[in-house]
Amino acid sequence: MDRLKKLKGYQGPKGPLMLIIMDGVGFGREDDSNAVFLAKTPTLDRLFKSSLCTKITAHGEAVGLPSNEDMGNSEVGHNALGAGRVFAQGAKRVNEDFRTGAVFSGKLWNKILDRCKKGKAVHFIGLFSDANVHSNINHVDAMIDNLANAGIKKLRIHPLLDGRDVAPRSALTYVAPFEEKLKKIRETKGFDYVIASGGGRMNVTMDRYGADWNIVKRGWDAHVNGIGRKFHSCEEAINTFYAEGVDDQYMGSFVIVDNADKPIGMMEDGDSVVYFNFRGDRALEISKAFDEGPEFDKFDRGRIPEVLYAGMMEYDSEAKIPKNFLVEPPVIQNTVCEYLAKEDITMFAISETQKFGHVTYFWNGNRSGYINETLEKYIEITSDRIPFDQAPKMKAYEITEKTIELLKSGKYKFGRLNFANGDMVGHTGVMDAAITAVETVDECVDKILKVVQELGGIAIITADHGNSDEMFSMKKDKKSIKTSHTLNKVPFVIVDFNNTGQYKMADIPNGGLSNVAATICNLLGYEKPSDYDPSLIAF
C-alpha cells in the first residue's frame, strides 16, 4: 500500500482527533416514538445545529447490503467506517453464492453430502429470521431443498429465536412454515427432517466477545447433548414461553423429545453441523466450542461427538475461525488505521465488551489483533451481566473516564470509542431506559469534548446505525414495540474549536459511513487514499 500524502495548506490539529460513535443514535420522527428526541440532550442539541453537522446513511447499499430496505448493523457499520469503501456484506455476499449456486458446488458442501449419505445427520444452527443482520432463513430453505434433492435422509434444525432484529414475538411467523415444509418432506419422501432444539438469541448460543460463556454452554448442551427444557414441538415451546411472559430473544434453551421423553436431535459421531449465521460476532464462540480440542477451557462440553462443523462464513480471518466455512468473506485490506500506522500515528480504541470487537476486529477489516502494537492500545471495559434496561447507563462513565485519561496522557493522536447504550438499551424496547441511555451518552460526549478542546484537538461524533430513535411503530392505530435497528440517517458532526474556515462540509448527496475514513485522513492533515470514498469535508 502507498503512503498517505500530506495536504497542502492544512496540517491538522495540535491535539488529538477523537472519534465518538454513538451506537444506535439516529434521526427519527420527532414524536413520542423517538427516545433520542424525548431525551434531554443539551450537548447533542447544540451540535446538531452546527454548520459542521450533516446526516449520513448507515444502512442498505451504503454499507454493502442488498437493498436500502436492509437495516444497518454494527458489524457492517464499523467495517465501512474503518475501510473507507463499501464492500459486499453479510446477506449480499451470501445471497450471491446462493443465487449462483456456488455454495452448493463447493468442496465443503459436497463433503457434507458425502458424509451424510451414509445415514448421518446434517444439523443447522442459527438465528431463525429474515432480518438479514445475522442470518436469513431463506438460506436455510435453500439448503433444505438441496439436501432433500440429494437424498440426504436425516436433518435436524436448531433455531435461535430472534425478536430483536424483527418483532419481539414473531417466532411462529418463521417456525410454522418450516414445520409444514419438514412435515411435507417426511410424508412425501420418508426422510427424517425435524426441529430438534432451540432458544432465544440472548440466552442461548449467541454470546459475543466472551461476555457470558454460559450462553454458549446452554446452546451446546441443547444442540449437542439434548439437555434443556423438554417439549414435544417447537411451537409448544414458543407458546409456553409466551404464556410465561417471555419474548423470543429471552427464551431459555429447549429440546424436542419423543413420546418417551428422549431428545430427538442429539449430535452423533459422523454428523455434520452448519452454523448458518453470516455475521461473525455472535458466531465466534460457538465455533470455538466445536472446533477446538482439549485446549478449550470455557466450559465443560461433556460428550464431544466427532462432527464436521462449518460456518456460513469465516468469522475471523486471522484466527481462522471456523476451520471450515461455506462462503468466502469480503477481503478488506488497506483500512484507514493501516494507513495511519504507516505514518507512525499513535492510536487507541475503547469500548465496553458488548462493542469492543466493533472498534477493533470489524474496524480493522475483520481481523483480530493489533495492526501495530507499538502504536496502538485497545481498551476493553468489561460489561455488566445485567439486562440493559435495568442498567441503561451501562459502562459509559467508565469508558469516558478512561478515554479522558488516554487523551490527557498526550500519547495518542487518534482515538475511537463506541458508546453501546443507544443500541443495546434500544433493543430492549423499554422507552424510559432508552431515554436514560441517550441522556447518559449526551453527558459523556460533553465531558470528552471539554478535554478535546483543552488539548487543542478535534472531535467527530457519529453513529453506526439507528435504534433508540424508533422505539415503536404504529400499525392500525396500535403501538408495536420496535427492538430492531432503524433505517434512519445518523449524525456526522465535527467539533473543531480552532476552525476558522479552513474547511466546510462537502456537498456529498449520498454520504454514508464509508466517507468517514477519508474525512479522518483529511482532519489529520493527509489526502485520502485514491480508492477511498470522498471526504465529508472540503477545503
pLDDT at residue 110 greater than cutoff 90: yes
For the chain, which residues make up each domain, given as ranges? 17-88+332-538, 92-327
Pairing of strands 347-352, 376-381: parallel
State residue 500's pLDDT score: 86
* 33, 74, 272, 468: the active-site residue: 74
DSSP codes joined into one string, 347-364: EEEEEEHHHHHIIIIITT
Task: Identify the band that residue 67 occupies on the pLDDT scale cut at 50, 70 and 90.
Answer: confident
pLDDT of 316 reads 79
Share of the chain above pLDDT 70, in %: 99
Q: Give the 3-state secondary structure of residue 518.
A: helix
Q: How far is CA 466 from CA 264, 362, 424, in A?
A: 41, 18, 11
Distance (Å, whole) CA 239 – CA 518: 50
Q: In residues, how long is the chain?
A: 539
pLDDT beyond 90 at 473: no
Q: Give the mean pLDDT of 171-179.
A: 98
Q: Cα(first)–Cα(last) distance of the chain, in Å?
A: 25
pLDDT value for 317: 65
Amino acid making up residue 355 = K
The span from the CA of 471 to the CA of 485, in Å, is 9
| Residue position matching grid coordinates 475461525 | 321
Average pLDDT value for residue range 247-267? 98
d(CA 122, CA 144): 10
Contact yes or no for 315/237 (Cβ under 8 A): no
Strands 490-496 and 53-56: antiparallel
CATH of domain 17-88+332-538: 3.40.720.10
Q: pLDDT band at 281, cuts 50/70/90?
A: confident
**Catalytic status, residue 74:** yes
Question: Is the CB of residue 115 less than 8 Å from the CB of residue 308?
Answer: yes
**Rg over CA atoms, the chain:** 24
Q: Where are the beta strands (DSSP E) in 406-486?
A: 414-419, 458-462, 472-475, 478-481
Q: Global pTM?
A: 0.78
Instruction: Average the pLDDT over 520-535 and give the result.
Output: 98
Q: Omega before 322 cis (within 30°)?
A: yes
In whole angstroms, what is the distance from residue 255 CA to residue 158 CA?
9
Block residue for cell numbers 503512503: 3
The model's pLDDT over 413-465, given as tens digits with 9 standing for 90+, comes to 999 999 999 999 999 999 999 999 999 999 999 999 999 999 999 999 999 99
Distances (CA, A) of 105 to 102, 141, 146, 150, 155: 5, 17, 11, 13, 20
CB 84 within 8 A of CB 533: yes
Asked if the 92-327 domain carries CATH number 2.40.30.10, the reply is: no
Quick one: average pLDDT of 23-50?
97
Average pLDDT over residues 99-117: 95
